[in-house]
């Protein structure tokens, strides 16, 4: 079992719709959770971080964490073509470095 699992996609949504990206992780001791966005040929950039159960909203983005289910999600409201990218879920456990999932490719259709 991979430590951090994501559906590779592509996830295709029409412009203006809500995109829902999901991630599960295997280590119950994980403490910090991150969503990074990566455009093709570019380096990852942080979108959201979340540390406690529940929802965290920042503009059009909402991160959701459920530690009991070992599940993290990212919702993107009013999706725009510029949101088309690969979204990487990353998990931090103890003093270890971040462990990344393989990413979900999102395509927003104009």
Candidate list 21, 65, 72, 88; residue touching other proteins; CB under 8 A? 88
CB of 72 to other proteins, least distance (A): 14
CB of 43 to other proteins, least distance (A): 4
Of 19, 6, 5, nearest in space to 82 by CA: 19
For residue 98, give the H/E element and its range. Answer: none
| Region 7-26 residues binding other proteins, contact defined as CB under 8 A | 8
- Please tell me the distance from the alpha carbon of residue 89 to that of residue 103, in angstroms, as a whole number: 7
Decide if residue 5 touches other proteins (CB under 8 A).
no
Decide if residue 75 touches other proteins (CB under 8 A).
no
Candidate list 25, 33, 34, 35; residue touching other proteins; CB under 8 A? 34
Give yes or no for a contact between 50 and 65, defined as CB atoms under 8 angstroms apart. yes
E-assigned strands of 1-110?
A: 4-5, 11-14, 19-25, 32-38, 45-50, 54-58, 61-66, 71-76, 85-92, 99-100, 104-109
Candidate list 12, 14, 46, 80; residue touching other proteins; CB under 8 A? 46
Residues in contact with other proteins, counted by CB under 8 A, come to a total of 24
- Catalog residues that contact other proteins under the rule CB under 8 A: 4, 6, 8, 31-32, 34, 42-46, 49, 88, 90, 92, 95-103
């Amino acid at each position: 079992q991979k430590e951090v699992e994501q559906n590779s996609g592509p996830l295709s949504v029409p412009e203006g719709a809500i995109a829902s990206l999901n991630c599960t992780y295997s280590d119950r001791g994980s403490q910090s959770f991150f969503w990074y966005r990566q455009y093709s040929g570019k380096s990852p950039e942080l979108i959201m971080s979340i540390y406690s159960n529940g929802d965290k909203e920042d503009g059009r983005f909402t991160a959701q964490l459920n530690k009991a289910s070992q599940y993290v999600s990212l919702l993107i409201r009013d999706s725009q073509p510029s949101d088309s990218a690969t979204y990487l879920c990353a998990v931090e456990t103890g003093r270890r470095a971040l462990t990344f999932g393989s990413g979900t490719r999102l395509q927003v259709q104009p």
